[in-house]
A and B are shown apart, each in its own frame.
Chain A
Amino acid sequence: MMLEVKDLSVCYGSKKILDGLSFSVKEGQWLMIAGPNGAGKSTAINAIAGGVSYTGKILFEGEDIRRKKPAQLARCIGVLTQSHPVSYSFSVEEVVALGRYSHSTGFLSRRMEGKERADAVDAALNLTGMAERRRQSILTLSGGELQRTFLAQVFAQDPRLLLLDEPTNHLDLIYQKQVFGLIRDWLKTPGRAVISVIHDLSLARAYGTEILLMDHGTALAYGTAGEVLTPARLQEVYQMDVYGWMREMLSQWN
């Protein structure tokens, strides 16, 4: 088991955002976390990424993530967020190179990592199609290019588990397809897994291997798309006929 989340609870003040959430992820899986707004999906991701204090246990390959140093954790778990408010004109390459931070934190290791680092950065830039823009300022990029820059950063970071928080929320269709394709290819290497928070149930169905449906800070259902996304359950969670609506929309395309 790569990641085990046990009885995870998070409170903001007196408000309980997560209430005893448990699930796990194996190598090769792409877990899609779906659910209505306010279900606690992003908070769950943030807790695994070490950005929220919580009660309960999060184990990476059996070891409590709170016992890992930040750099150790970053070599295991990488994060891609939905937006990147940037304010200084760093180049694409500088942003991507920072992905190697956790592989060379000390003064000595920084010198030794030189070649390996350059290779990892080049590979990530090529993979995401950002190689020809490597010297461009990030302030001049479009939303899609910026997202691919940070995707390249997390590829250069080379984690085992990738957390995505609505990675294509602000992107048009072509970038959505590109980003999901790139992540699917990344997942083909053994020993890797992906968890993403997602609103779009069609995307969740198309790319996810497992689906976790959340509501009110806890897990409602877990399993394959067919098991989890049943008409009755979606009716209960979203208070509407999701299947009917999807069919109606698709019928317009013929």
Chain B
Amino acid sequence: MKSQKERFSTAEYVLFAAVTAAVLCFCVCVGSVTIPLKETVSIIRQALYARIGMLLGAPASLPEGTAASIILSVRLPRVLCVAATGASLSLAGAAMQGLLKNPLADGSTLGVSSGAALGAVTAIAFGITFPGLPFAGTMTAAVLSALVSLLIILGLAYKLDRSLSTNTIILIGMVFSMFVSSLMNIVITFAADKVQQITFWTMGSLQGKGYTEALILFGALAVFGGILFFHARELNAFAIGEDNARHIGVNVRRVRLVLLIAVSGLIGICVSVGGVIGFVGLVAPHILRMITGPNHRRLLPASAFGGATFLMLADLAARMLLRPRELNIGIVTSLAGAAVFLVVFWRAGRGK
């Protein structure tokens, strides 16, 4: 019998965090040049001490050498970005699966990620920026268009099929994705000089990302992920059924809007930094639900750690499989995601 604890215990937090940290260290060590774990840890520790020293005004120097520069300026920021993106997309997926009571819901299957990418691409093509904030233009556009996409998809779904059956939503998501990709091509014809930059958004990669991006991603994870954590009980109610949620006193309209905003924030910011990385929110929560059960008080924290771990490993595979060439991380996650999608679809179909 599955364990039925209400919360994620401290021991479980420690265990999941330890696994995530171990995978993080591993991913930082391994690459075109593999650096021993001991050296990696000592470089990161030195760099941390030096940063803290600088903050306190003491003279300190950052570690130097080839290994140090590979780790500190290339791998560590990239892996941190990957971890934050994985956690965010996984949380967004878990929340949508609960909210819509649909185990196949995810940013990529519903077309929300494509919608966010369209926003980002439009901002790049037409040069929408805020002075002084280089990322803010694409980011705001991506978050807003993610939210608009979600509202359109759900609006259509409610109009067509009040019970929000699994298949209706997925079909609408597919149609919406196709619609968005044709819009994207129209935008691209208007901005032929930026094709290179734009193709990136449709593929997804976190190659060459720095600490600023990592900071933004972790910030979004803390804010929007925090909102989701705070609504774990309401998510449980939605996962049992929206009518039941209303009957037990959940403010269905308000909570749904808040959750959709949080989900859009997570997906929009991830897409604006790393492009469309599909199926993360499908794979990680699906596997973790088998361990923790469907209760969101346990599923959400587990999904955050699990998503980070999954995407770091996918990124490692993207870097290592066809060395010295590098795959786009989205290709790896889609390969894994397609398989999991079929498994979930198969089970959902058999259950009825």
Contacts and interface: CB of A to CB of B under 8 A. Distances in A.
Given A74-B249, A101-B248, A51 B294 contact: no
B252 to A, nearest CB: 7
B155 to A, nearest CB: 17
Interface residues of B, number: 29
Nearest to A137: B2
Interface string A56-91: 000000000000011111110011010011111111
B39 interface: no
Contacts of A201: none
A139 B293 CA distance: 12
Contacts of A75: 249
Interface stretch (A92-100, A215-223, A246-254): A92-100
A99 B247 CA distance: 9
Interface in A38-70: 49-51, 69-70
A22 interface: no
Nearest to B254: A70
Given A69-B251, A98-B233, A86 B240 contact: yes
Given A89-B293, A93-B4, A74 B247 contact: yes
Given A101-B250, A150-B244, 19 more contacts: A49-B246, A51-B243, A70-B250, A71-B249, A71-B251, A78-B247, A86-B241, A88-B101, A88-B103, A90-B240, A90-B294, A94-B4, A98-B236, A98-B237, A102-B248, A107-B230, A135-B1, A153-B244, A157-B249
Which 3 A-B residue pairings sit nearest by Cβ, starting from the closest?
A74-B249, A102-B249, A88-B294
A105 interface: yes
26 contacts: A49-B246, A51-B243, A51-B246, A70-B246, A70-B249, A70-B250, A70-B252, A73-B249, A75-B249, A81-B244, A84-B241, A85-B241, A86-B240, A87-B102, A87-B351, A88-B239, A88-B289, A94-B4, A98-B233, A98-B237, A98-B248, A101-B250, A102-B248, A135-B1, A139-B351, A153-B248
Nearest to B97: A88
Contacts of B246: 49-51, 70
Nearest to A72: B249
Nearest to A139: B351
A85 B348 CA distance: 13
Contacts of A98: 233, 236-237, 240, 244, 248
A79 B240 CA distance: 15
A178 B170 CA distance: 40
Nearest to B103: A87
A87 B249 contact: no
Contacts of B251: 69-71
A75 B351 CA distance: 34
Nearest to A71: B249
Interface residues on A, range: 35 or more
A69 B289 CA distance: 33
B109 interface: no
A78 B240 CA distance: 16
B140 interface: no
A89 B246 CA distance: 20
Contacts of B351: 87, 139
Interface in B1-43: 1-2, 4
B158 to A, nearest CB: 13
Contacts of B230: 107
A139 B295 CA distance: 14
Interface in B265-298: 289, 293-295
A218 B248 CA distance: 28
Contact of A95 (B103, B240, B252): B240
B338 to A, nearest CB: 22
B237 A101 contact: yes
A102 B233 CA distance: 11
Nearest to B294: A88
Contacts of A79: 247
A14 to B, nearest CB: 17
B236 A90 contact: yes
Contacts of B243: 51, 81
A95 B252 CA distance: 17
A81 B294 CA distance: 23
A98 B240 CA distance: 10
Contacts of A74: 247-249
Interface string A137-175: 101000000000010011001000000000000000000
A105 to B, nearest CB: 7
* Residue of A70, A72, A150 most packed against chain B (CB within 10 A): A70
Contacts of B4: 91, 93-94, 135
A98 B244 CA distance: 10
Nearest to B163: A85
Nearest to A154: B247
Interface in A214-249: none
A135 B247 CA distance: 23
A86 B351 CA distance: 11
Interface in B216-246: 230, 233, 236-237, 239-241, 243-244, 246
Contacts of B2: 89, 137
Given A86-B240, A87-B101, A90-B236, A99 B294 contact: no
Contacts of B294: 88-90
Nearest to A86: B240
Contacts of A85: 163, 241
A148 to B, nearest CB: 15
Nearest to B3: A135
